[in-house]
């Protein structure tokens, strides 16, 4: 593990080898956190990136090596205007990929309802997170978004309703089995994420290599929201060899 890119910011960069090694490292490190802190409050993302990590965590729970019985899970974000039983919803994805296969008590899963007063729902979510999660896992959008914090999301942003960038709506097609794609959603804000004791930014595959390079090298700016995490005292970028291919030598 390296101390960062030498520019004095706190982001640690871990180049985690193959996709298999990457997933195993993240799953085992999370399991270790759970063993130290069984009541871990963890924020989890959806998307395709974390799926192999969740697969390994579910295996560890099935094998009796890990337990979420006392943990608490907060969903990072949710699509709006989508039916509660739509398989493309973030809560449905997380249930399928992880929650249905672990021992987390249902009442310890926090998610967004979004069928009533969205602003009130977001305010209540922010309250529930309170002083922050212990650990937050994040994927990265190709435009540098984290959660649904699209370019322009500032460091003070809280849990709120957001409009999706057109490219994010287009990219969401891979989650849905129909073409009524979401144009808005609700997400933890950058400030909400920054209150987490630890943040892990996850990236795999050559498709993420350009944005991984920008997250490390561009100026810290709301224009690339993931760069804002470089101001977090315990943030780590964990990328497989493909996603870190454009970082150059001596980084990570």
CB of 211 to ligand GLP, least distance (A): 10
Q: Give the DSSP per-residue string, 148-192.
A: TB-TT--TT--SEEEEPPHHHHHHGGGT-SSS---SEEEE--HHH
> At a CB cut-off of 8 Å and minimum separation 6, what does 192 contact?
126, 129, 132, 157, 158, 159
What lies within 8 Å, CB to CB, of 166 at 6+ separation is none
Binding mask 37-76 for ligand GLP (x = CB under 6 A): --------x-xxx--------------------------x
User: Do residues 230 and 146 lie in contact, with contact meaning Cβ atoms separated by under 8 Å?
Assistant: no
Contact predicate 74/195, CB 8 Å: no
Look up 218 and say whether it is catalytic.
no
Residue nearest to ligand GLP (CB): 139
How would you class 117 by CB atoms within 10 Å of its CB: exposed for 0-12, middle for 13-18, buried for 19 or more?
exposed
Q: Which is nearer to ligand GLP, 70 or 96 (CB)?
A: 96
Beta bridge partners of 44: 75
Binding ligand GLP by CB under 6 A: which of 30, 114, 148, 199?
148
Q: Does 147 sit near ligand GLP (CB under 6 A)? A: yes
Nearest approach in angstroms of CB 206 to ligand GLP is 12
Q: Is 77 in the site for ligand GLP (CB under 6 A)?
A: yes
**Of residues 1, 60, 55, the one with CA closest to residue 23:** 55
User: Which span (29-37, 99-107, 139-147, 238-246) binds ligand GLP, by CB under 6 A?
Assistant: 139-147
Query: Is residue 224 near ligand GLP by the rule CB under 6 A?
Result: no
Instruction: Tell me the number of residues near ligand GLP by CB under 6 A.
Output: 11
Site for ligand GLP in 160-199 (CB under 6 A): 168
78 is catalytic: no
Q: Which is nearer to ligand GLP, 177 or 250 (CB)?
A: 177
Q: Residue length, the chain?
A: 252
Comparing CB distances to ligand GLP, the nearer of 41 and 89 is 89
SS3 133: coil
Interface residues with ligand GLP (CB under 6 A)?
A: 45, 47-49, 76-77, 139, 141, 147-148, 168
Active site residues: 77, 143, 145, 150
């Amino acid at each position: 593990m390296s101390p960062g890119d030498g520019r004095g910011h706190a982001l640690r960069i871990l180049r985690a080898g193959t996709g298999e090694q990457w997933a195993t490292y993240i799953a085992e490190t999370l399991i270790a956190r759970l063993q130290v802190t069984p009541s871990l409050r963890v924020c989890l993302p959806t998307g395709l990136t974390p799926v192999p990590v969740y697969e390994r965590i579910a295996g560890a729970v099935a094998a009796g090596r890990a337990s979420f019985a006392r943990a608490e899970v907060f969903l990072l974000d949710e699509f709006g205007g989508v039916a509660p039983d739509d398989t493309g919803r973030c809560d449905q994805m997380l249930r399928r990929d992880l929650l249905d296969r672990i021992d987390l008590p249902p009442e310890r899963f926090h998610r967004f309802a979004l069928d009533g007063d969205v602003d009130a729902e977001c305010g209540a979510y922010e309250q529930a997170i309170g002083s922050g999660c212990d650990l937050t896992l994040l994927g990265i959008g190709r435009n540098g978004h984290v959660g649904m914090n699209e370019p322009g999301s500032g460091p003070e942003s809280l849990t709120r309703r957001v409009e999706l960038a057109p490219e994010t709506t287009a990219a969401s097609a891979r989650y849905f089995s129909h073409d009524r794609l979401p144009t808005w959603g609700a997400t933890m804000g950058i400030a909400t994420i920054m209150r987490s004791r630890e943040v892990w930014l996850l990236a795999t595959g050559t498709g993420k290599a350009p944005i991984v390079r920008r997250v490390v090298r561009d100026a810290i700016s709301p224009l690339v929201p993931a760069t804002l995490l470089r101001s977090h005292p315990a943030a780590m970028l964990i990328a497989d060899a493909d996603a870190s291919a454009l970082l150059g030598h001596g980084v990570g």
